[in-house]
């Protein structure tokens, strides 16, 4: 178990390391000297560029730069943000909690709603409700995340005015509110972005869950459970669902990349100051240190989440024993 965990973590570190290398290569393949601020500016003379190059160590040989780069990343230093004039680490430290909050809320919606819908559909398989829900999930699975965000924003934020249209909190009154009021204010701001992200994910999960559930429902042990005199509810919710959820847990680990991708868009639509918006904004301001730092962090999160998903699967499925035969 411990050995397995160590091995998996080592693999994750290796993956992050590879991503680091990749970003380094990309940066140096790129035209110009992107890691220097304001070199696009025509007015900057060559001698200033040379000085900046020296200052940022860009005149050293590539292997030295590479080692230095790895070393500083290992210390959590991603350099200085050009646009925000502060260390990238600080900007990330402000943004990551917001993304984590949004991500967790979206994951909760994605999996509770997705599993419930899929299980319900499987129980009513090939009836009219199932067909209707299948079309609905197919729609949400196919619609662009940011477009759904805009549509929700238009309906609930602009027309109905039930919910705020963006941001993480009310800029004027938030700080004057008592503790509970501040939490409520944040939750109100969270509803639309989390629903946007969660609904798209839930549609995918529901499609997957329905298929998994349908496969389980035809297993012999479901018949055994019925023969025991259990209620249909107990058969489905206890015996079938528990088995059908197992593959979905693996999906949880795989869904994180999509969630982060979605976060870039949803955070942009709702001006949610998280990692995704930080990265997207950084692109427009040509703030390369921030972009690369966000990519590395995202890769690390994905690698870690797949370890967590494997752990969860092992917890939920007594047949899976960590440590043997997980080479793949």
Partner 1 sequence: MLRTWVSLAVLVAGSTGGAFALRRRCERTGRGRRFFRHPTATTGVAVLTFFVLVAVCAPLVAPYDPSAQPDPVGLQNRPPSWLHPFGTDLYSHDVLSRVVYGAQVSLGVGTLAMLVALTLGAVVGAIAGYTGRWIDAVLMRLVDVGIAVPRMFLLLMAVALWSRLPLGTLIVLIGVTGWFGTSRLVRAEVLSLRERPFVDAARALGARSGRVIFGHVLPNAAAPLIVSAALGIGHVMLLEAALSFLGIGVRPPVASWGNMIADGRDLLTIAPWISLVPGLGIAAVVMSLNAVGDALRDALDPREEAT
Partner 2 sequence: MTQPGGTAPLLAVRDLKTYFVTGRGGGTARAVDGVSFELYPGETLGIVGESGCGKTVTSLSILRLIPEPPGHIRPGSYIEFDGRNLLTLAPRDLRAIRGNRIAMVFQEPMTSLNPVFTVGDQIAEAAVVHQGLSRGAARARAIDMLRLVGIPDPETRVDDYPHQLSGGMRQRVVIAMALVCRPQILIADEPTTALDVTIQAQILELLERLQAELGMAVMLITHDLGVVAGTADRVVVMYAGQVVETASTAELFAGPRHPYTEGLLASIPRLDRPADRLTSIPGNVPAATHWPAGCRFHPRCPHAWDKCRREEPPLLDAGTPGHTARCWLVVEPQRRRPAP
Contact 285, 83 (CB under 8 A): yes
- Asked whether position 319 contacts partner 2 by CB under 8 A, the answer is yes
Residue 31, SS3? coil
Taking the complex as a whole, the smallest distance from the CB of residue 242 to partner 2 amounts, in Å, to 5
Instruction: Identify the burial level of 150 via C-beta atoms within 10 angstroms of its C-beta, where 0-12 means exposed, 13-18 middle and 19 or more buried.
Output: middle
Kindly write out the interface string for residues 232-271 of this chain, putting x where it contacts partner 2 by CB under 8 A and - elsewhere: x-x----x--xx--x-------------------------
Closest CA to 140 of 207, 193, 94, 188: 207
DSSP three-state, residue 80: strand
**Residue 299 interacts with which of partner 2, partner 1, none, CB < 5 to 8 Å by class:** partner 1
**Residue 209 sits in the site that holds partner 2 (CB under 8 A):** no
Whole-number minimum distance, CB 36 to partner 1, in Å?
13
Q: Which of 231, 271, 283, 315 binds partner 2 (CB under 8 A)?
A: 231
224 counts as binding partner 2 under rule CB under 8 A: yes
Among 13, 50, 131, 315, binds partner 1 (CB under 8 A): 131
Q: Closest by alpha carbon to 251, among 215, 202, 218, 295?
A: 202
- CA–CA distances in Å: residue 259 to residues 104, 209, 324: 10, 18, 30
State the nearest-atom distance from the C-beta of 244 to partner 2, in Å: 10
Residue 264 contacts partner 1 per CB under 8 A: yes
278-297: contacts with partner 2 (CB under 8 A): none
| Residue 135 touching partner 1 (CB under 8 A) | yes
Residues 6 or more apart whose Cβ sits within 8 Å of residue 87: 77, 78, 79, 80, 81
Distance (Å, rounded) from C-alpha 53 to C-alpha 60? 9
- How many residues at the interface with partner 1, by CB under 8 A? 55
CA atoms within 13 A on the CB side of 210: 23
Helix (H, G, I), strand (E, B), or coil: what is residue 262?
Answer: helix
Output the six-digit token pair for 69.
Answer: 């780069």
Min dist. Cβ of residue 157 to partner 1 (A): 9
Among residues 117, 265, 278, 314, the one that binds partner 1 under rule CB under 8 A: 265
Q: In the window 141-170, what residues touch partner 1 (CB under 8 A)?
A: 141-147, 150-151, 153-154, 158
**Min CB(19)–partner 1 separation in Å:** 5
The nearer residue to partner 1, 159 or 179, going by C-beta atoms, is 159
Q: With CB cut-offs between 5 and 8 Å by kind, which of partner 1, partner 2, none does residue 113 bind?
A: none
Quick one: residue 32, left, alpha or beta (phi over 0 = left, psi -120 to 50 = alpha)? left
**Helix/strand number for the chain, H first, E second:** 12, 2
Report, in Å, the least distance between residue 173 CB and partner 1.
23
31 binds, among partner 1, partner 2, none (CB under 5 to 8 A by kind): partner 1
Distance CA 234, CA 55 (A): 68
Residue 131's binding partner, choosing from partner 2, partner 1, none, with beta-carbon cut-off 5 to 8 A by kind? partner 1
Give whichever of 28 and 234 is closer to partner 1, judged by the CB atom. 28
Could you give the CA distance from residue 253 to residue 303 in angstroms, rounded to a whole number? 9
The CB-of-218 to partner 1 minimum distance in angstroms stands at: 10
Tokens encoding 177: 């509110």
Rg of the chain's alpha carbons, rounded to an integer?
A: 24
Please choose which of partner 2, partner 1, none residue 146 contacts, taking the beta carbon within 5 to 8 angstroms, the exact cut-off set by kind.
partner 1
Per CB under 8 A, residues contacting partner 2 are 219-221, 223-232, 234, 239, 242-243, 246, 316-319
């Amino acid at each position: 178990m411990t050995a397995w965990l160590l091995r998996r973590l080592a693999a994750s570190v290796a993956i992050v390391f590879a991503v680091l290398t990749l970003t380094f290569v990309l940066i140096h393949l790129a035209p110009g000297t992107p890691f220097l601020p304001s070199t696009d500016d025509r007015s900057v003379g060559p001698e200033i560029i040379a000085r900046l190059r020296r200052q940022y160590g860009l005149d050293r040989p590539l292997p030295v730069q590479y080692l230095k780069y790895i070393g500083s990343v290992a210390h959590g230093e991603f350099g200085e943000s050009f646009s925000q004039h502060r260390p990238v680490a600080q900007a990330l430290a402000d943004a990551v909690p917001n993304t984590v909050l949004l991500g967790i809320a979206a994951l909760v919606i994605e999996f509770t709603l997705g599993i419930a819908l899929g299980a319900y559909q499987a129980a009513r398989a090939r009836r009219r409700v199932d067909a209707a829900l299948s079309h609905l999930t197919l729609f949400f699975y196919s619609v662009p995340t940011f477009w759904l965000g805009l549509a929700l924003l238009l309906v609930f934020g602009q027309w109905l005015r039930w919910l705020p249209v963006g941001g993480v909190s009310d800029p004027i009154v938030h700080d004057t509110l008592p503790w509970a009021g501040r939490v409520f204010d944040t939750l109100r701001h969270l509803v639309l972005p989390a629903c946007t992200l969660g609904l798209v994910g839930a549609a995918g999960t529901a499609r997957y869950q329905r298929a998994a559930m349908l496969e389980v429902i035809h297993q012999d042990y479901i018949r055994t459970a019925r023969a025991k005199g259990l209620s249909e509810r107990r058969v489905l919710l206890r015996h079938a669902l528990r088995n059908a959820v197992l593959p979905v847990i693996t999906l949880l680990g795989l869904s994180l990349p999509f969630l982060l991708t979605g976060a870039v868009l949803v955070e942009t639509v709702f001006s949610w100051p998280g990692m995704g918006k930080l990265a997207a904004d950084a692109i427009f301001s040509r703030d390369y240190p921030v972009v690369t730092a966000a990519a590395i962090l995202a890769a690390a999160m994905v690698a870690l989440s797949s370890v967590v998903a494997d752990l969860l699967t092992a917890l939920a499925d007594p047949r899976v024993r960590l440590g043997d035969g997980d080479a793949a």
